A and B are shown apart, each in its own frame.
Chain A
Amino acid sequence: MSKFHSTVSRRDFMKTLGLAGAGLGAAAALSPVFHDIDEVVASPTAENKRPWWIKNRELGDTTLEVDWDMMVRPDGRVSGQQTETQVHYLGQEEVTRRLSSNILSPNIEDAKNNKPGNTLRDQALGFSSIVPMLIHPTDFMGPQMRPTPAMTGAPKWQGTPEENSRMVRSALTFFGAGMVGFGEVSKQEREKLFYTYHKQVPNKQQVFEDVDLGYEDADKYVFPNKPLYRISMTLPMSREMYRTSDRSQLQFASNVSRYRHFSMLQPAFQEFIRGIGYQCYGYPAPVAGPMPAAASAILSGLAEASRNSGYCIDPEYGPVSGFFTLITDLPLEPTPPIDAGIWRFCQTCNKCAENCPNQVIPYDHEPSWEPPTFYGKPDIMHPLGKRMFYTDHVGCWMYCFEGGCGACMATCTFNVNGSAMVHDAVKATLATTPILNGFLWQADKTFGYGLKSEEEKEEWWDLSLPSMGWDTASFSKHGGY
């Protein structure tokens, strides 16, 4: 046969075509096809799949060592973000001076000088990003607009905890969440994790009572003494805007975007849960919930603890995420804590501490059960019972509130985008080979990842980036996204 002609005969070609057709048919027959939402919920493939290097641990067994006996319920009124705590450490005069001008007030000088990150348009964007949260207040019990099945006579939704978990994950993802995890609210958590007094509504206690349905009155938020479940979720934010830190209104716009999204998400989700015959206990204000959101995120396997005790790190999306926790009586299947090597890596890496403009993040390499003193006074900001690093949250918060920061999250070794495959290779390596941790964070510095220069900050306005500032397909596994 001539070498200039095909060596495939017509017979072979037709045979191959037939085999390919049969193969496609078999593949189609074996592939899951969903005819309605019930089938999606019932399918095990509705679960979130994660990379192989993220290992599940036993329930309650977080990589951050916890001593529940040492723990006491945290008081939401005593954190670095509360003025009373700031006054306790710094004195009234200093606090008043430092809060006299803050990130929310117009900075005329910077606007006149077109200071990168603080131009007039940057300031306008920063403020406007938070406005929907201010005009859409959230509520502990939810809007309660939709009649419950008990009111209409429709049967209450009945699903297994696994089915419910997948259903909730689908609903929350639709409403704007990134990753979603679950846990049962144990007796231990009620006694050790729930704030005594709410963080953002400081005159109100959080209590458990023998009632079927929780409620809110002038003095307290009441959770029922019955099986309850926590729903932990991430609301990722714009990495590019964070990289304009510090002293940047673009970073501030991204920072508060999670509250803007959450103020839309929570009432929608509360109505969904009400519509199927259950109750979701939400945030009375979009900025604070029933327990430290990081604790819930770590227990639910969404994230691991980090060097800066002010946030935690999601192995897929990194540190530039908001974490939120809702409570419900809908039975849910717990998701276990994870080990992606992040907490171990943070014990070697000092990048956030080095780049902190206010130097409030410790450089220690060995976490401790004992908090240090701050400003010559004992630590009242961190609840005891965790072997961790202790950030000065008063110093951190006041610096942030004065003019915006977030440099730690922006420069974090885990704050990387997804185009270059080296990031997945690095994450997989540090999850499995901790001996290379020192080399890997030095390499991150060498390759120049992290904060943008002053000249680069305003380039954000000319970029074409995903809607809402983050790639909402980051966690999707179906539909070809």
Chain B
Amino acid sequence: MWLITGLILGAALLGVILWLRGKNMSFTWYEWLIGIVSLLLLLFTIQNFAGSFAEMEPFAAWLFLPVTGLPAVILMVLVWQLASRRQKAN
């Protein structure tokens, strides 16, 4: 699972960096910080989602999506919005 997660993550990061370069955008330090936190939270969610199913705890698995997955997505959207609004303002 981690191999596939790593491949997807690597591809996604590369995509983000290329997209940023293409748009001539950059992140501030706190956007990077929030981004890394949201990424770690997303990885935590994915691991526990899959791990809980492996443990035959489907209720716990699904509960990880709103409890840790949703905040991860919200933080990612926040970073995107912060960066794009700053870009527009400039």
Please list the residues of chain A having a beta carbon within 8 angstroms of any beta carbon in chain B: 240, 416-417, 419-422, 446-449, 463
Contacts and interface: CB of A to CB of B under 8 A. Distances in A.
A419 B59 contact: no
Nearest to A240: B56
Contact of A448 (B47, B51, B54, B57): B57
A129 B52 CA distance: 29
A447 B51 contact: no
Contacts of A449: 57, 60
Interface string B58-90: 011001100000000000000000000000000
B1 to A, nearest CB: 10
The binding surface of chain B is classed by DSSP as helix
B5 to A, nearest CB: 13
Given A420-B47, A422-B48, A448 B60 contact: yes
A422 B46 CA distance: 11
Pick the 6 closest A-B CB pairs, nearest first: A420-B51, A419-B51, A448-B59, A419-B54, A447-B60, A417-B55
B6 to A, nearest CB: 16
Contact of B63 (A417, A447, A463): A447
A120 to B, nearest CB: 25
B32 interface: no
Nearest to A421: B47
Nearest to B60: A447
A113 B48 CA distance: 38
Given A447-B60, A447-B63, A449-B60, A419 B55 contact: yes
5 contacts: A417-B55, A417-B57, A419-B54, A420-B48, A422-B48
B19 interface: no
Contacts of A416: 55
Question: In the complex, which range does the number of interface residues on chain B fall in?
Answer: 10 to 19
B55 A421 contact: no
The binding surface of chain A is classed by DSSP as loop
A421 B51 contact: yes
A447 B59 contact: yes
A448 B44 CA distance: 19
B18 to A, nearest CB: 13
Nearest to A463: B56
A474 to B, nearest CB: 14
Nearest to A459: B56
Nearest to B61: A420
A16 to B, nearest CB: 20
Nearest to B43: A421
Given A420-B57, A422-B64, 5 more contacts: A417-B57, A420-B51, A421-B48, A447-B60, A448-B59
B11 to A, nearest CB: 18
A419 B50 CA distance: 8
A446 B63 contact: yes
A422 B51 CA distance: 9
A449 B48 CA distance: 14
A254 to B, nearest CB: 16
A443 to B, nearest CB: 9
A251 B63 CA distance: 27
Contacts of B56: 240, 463
Residue with the greatest number of chain A CB neighbours at <10 A, chosen from B50, B59, B60, B63: B60
Nearest to A425: B44
